[in-house]
Amino acid sequence: MPKQFDLIVIGSGAGMNVAARAAGHGMQVAIVDNGPLGGTCLNRGCIPSKVMLYPADVIRTIQEAHAVGVHATVEAVDFEKIMARVWEIVLDGRREMAYGVAQTEDVTFFNADGAFVDAHTLQVGDERIEADTIVIAAGARPLIPPIEGLEAIGYLNSATVFDLETPPESLIIVGGGYIAAEFAHFFSAIGVQVTVVGRNPRLVPEEEPEISEVLQRKMAEYCQVYTGYEAVRAERAGDLKAITAIKRTGDAEQDAESHPSNTKTFTAQEVLIATGRRSNADILQPERAGIETIRGGWIKTDPYLQTSQENVWALGDARGRYMFRHTANYEAEMVWTNAFTEHRHAVDEHAVPHAVFTHPQIGSVGLTEAQAQTQAQAQAGHGVLVGIKRYYDTAKGFAMAEETGFVKVVVENETGRILGAHVIGPHAAILVQQIVYVMNSQEGNYLPLARAQTIHPALSEVVIGALGNLRPAGEHAGHHHHHHQDAHGHQDNE
């Protein structure tokens, strides 16, 4: 006989939020996770990577201080101390969760892979468990592309990189998304020679094109950056590892390997593969439970986060949509409400924010300019306004000698509703958050920002300045040039 539970939660990241609520209501809960408690965020994601990245920010701040007349150098970087701090917070978090689970009588932790037998039964190790309600919060794992010879030479991925005891002298990072960009920032800042090889023509391709452009320009100052190159082969080169990549132009004839000018070989001591994430759903065998997946194996859900199988719900990275911990936490709230209360709430995805902790930092929410224009064409009669403000054109931005950063806002013409905002530069994650709050106000328009007094001189003026520069979409070409006519915002504010 299978063991009976009221709820089975697969995955111990944001899935724990649902498990804890259920246990608090006296339900018998099973948690199934093959890894340590805490999921990607705690163990191999947000938390360890940000503990690594903050020292990198400090290093770059010191190195670039000459722009404001301060000459300083970094004497030494204590890699062991950085990694000790990484593991301190990860192991503390893990211990706290393990203690919580052990202390809670109504919770049973199965530290193994789970696979569906039928709609309400899972095979976990050599046990079977069943429940009326199941929540799939199984997450994602690193996607390893088919590079010939890669397994033979060995490589790091975004999980194993945290096990490094000493940094390599040189590193090839394969990938051009946010994970690749963040690790490029960290390793280059601590003195590793970094080469980034990305298949997409631009870095962080989900971001606004202007943001990709600024990031690439800044990253090229401290890394070798090759975009539009697909890694196809890996081999040993003496004591080093070599990656051969082909330029991808989109033209089949030109892209043929026979074109030697299109092929480059990079060598380094170590290789880090950061080419994205793949679904963990294949481990679960959802098809046995009649649970539909979409292309790439992500779990398909309705607007209430229920799968195609009644009383089986999914949240977080397993859905393959917005792979951020804060989004998974929000979805866990929705799943709890929809599965266990009389209320039903559809998921609201109009203002999902994220940040990329590169140098410079990126913060983003909602639609890009291109997405907003596509949406406006579909809903005839809605125009799109875009406003851009450079940090340097505000007093505080000038004070910081911040010459590359900018804020871009995307607004619906008729209603003043904010559709999206995109920031690159210092404190981007905090600046974009100001817009996120307003997007979640009753009307979602920019009136609260327009009515408010903005502290002068502070970086918030860059956000307000962008709203003050609204023009019809497409009219902001060439905004990267210096506009000195407003004298950094002085005369109108003092």
Q: Is residue 353 domain-resident?
A: no
Asked if the model's pLDDT at residue 79 lies above 60, the reply is: yes
- Mean pLDDT value of segment 177-190: 98
In a domain? residue 369: yes
φ, ψ of residue 399 in degrees (nearest 5): -55, -35
What is the model's pLDDT at position 483? 41
Residues 41-50: what's their mean pLDDT? 95
Which of 286, 305, 340 is the endpoint of a domain? Answer: 340
CATH code, domain carrying 475 = 3.30.390.30
Please report which confidence band the pLDDT of residue 385 belongs to, taking 50, 70 and 90 as the band edges: very high
Residue 249 — very low, low, confident or very high, per pLDDT cuts 50/70/90? confident
Please report, for residues 305, 376, 382, 386, the alpha-carbon distance to residue 413 in angstroms, rounded to integers and kept in the order given.
Answer: 32, 10, 7, 9
Report the candidate in 416, 418, 430, 419 with the shortest Cα–Cα distance to residue 462: 430
Assess whether pLDDT exceeds 90 at residue 256. Answer: no
- In this predicted structure, the answer to whether residue 255 has a pLDDT above a threshold of 70 is no
pLDDT at residue number 276: 93
The stretch 392-421 carries a mean pLDDT of: 97
Q: What is the mean pLDDT of the chain?
A: 93
pLDDT confidence of residue 475: 82
Q: Is residue 421 part of a domain?
A: yes
The answer on 270 and 285 residing in a single domain is no
Number of domains the chain is built from: 3
Binned at pLDDT 50, 70 and 90, residue 493 comes out as very low
Let me know if residue 349 belongs to a domain: no
| Torsion angles phi and psi, residue 120, rounded to 5 | -130, 15
Q: Do 106 and 168 have their domain in common? A: no
- Residue at which a domain ends, from 275, 295, 330: 275
Q: What is the pLDDT of residue 257?
A: 56
Q: Are 411 and 373 in the same domain?
A: yes
Q: Is 311 within the bounds of a domain? A: yes
- Please give the average per-residue pLDDT across 338-343, as a whole number: 96
Return d(Cα 230, Cα 244) in angstroms, integer: 8
Q: Check pLDDT > 80 for residue 152.
A: yes
Q: What is the pTM of this model?
A: 0.94
CB atoms within 10 A of CB 463: 25
Structural domain includes residue 119 = yes
* Residues 317 and 384 grouped into a single domain: no
For residues 449 and 476, membership in a common domain is answered with: yes
**Mean pLDDT of all residues in 426-433:** 98
Residues 19 and 136 both lie in one domain: yes
Residue 114 shares a structural domain with residue 155: no
Specify whether 14 is located in the same domain as 131.
yes
Shared domain check, 419 and 316: no
The fraction of the chain above a pLDDT of 90, given in percent, is: 90
Is residue 477's pLDDT more than 70?
no
Q: Is 480 exposed, middle or buried (0-12, 13-18, 19+ CB in 10 A)?
A: middle
At which of 275, 298, 318 does a domain end? 275
Judgement on whether residues 109 and 163 belong to the same structural domain of the protein: no
pLDDT score recorded for residue 490: 40
For the segment 357-368, what is each residue's pLDDT rounded down to a tens digit?
999 999 999 999
Q: Which residue has the higher pLDDT, 20 or 481?
A: 20
Percent of the chain residues past pLDDT 70, beyond the cut: 94
- Whether residue 286 sits in one domain with residue 270: no
Q: What is the pLDDT of residue 353?
A: 98
Is 103 part of any domain? yes
Range 1-22 average pLDDT: 97
Per the structure, the complete domain to which residue 233 belongs is given by 150-275
Asked if residues 454 and 460 have their Cβ atoms less than 8 Å apart, the reply is: yes
The CATH number of whichever domain residue 216 belongs to comes to 3.50.50.60
Any idea which residues carry the catalytic annotation? Answer: 456
Same-domain status, 267 and 284? no
Question: Helices 46-64 and 178-189, interaxial angle, to 10°?
Answer: 50
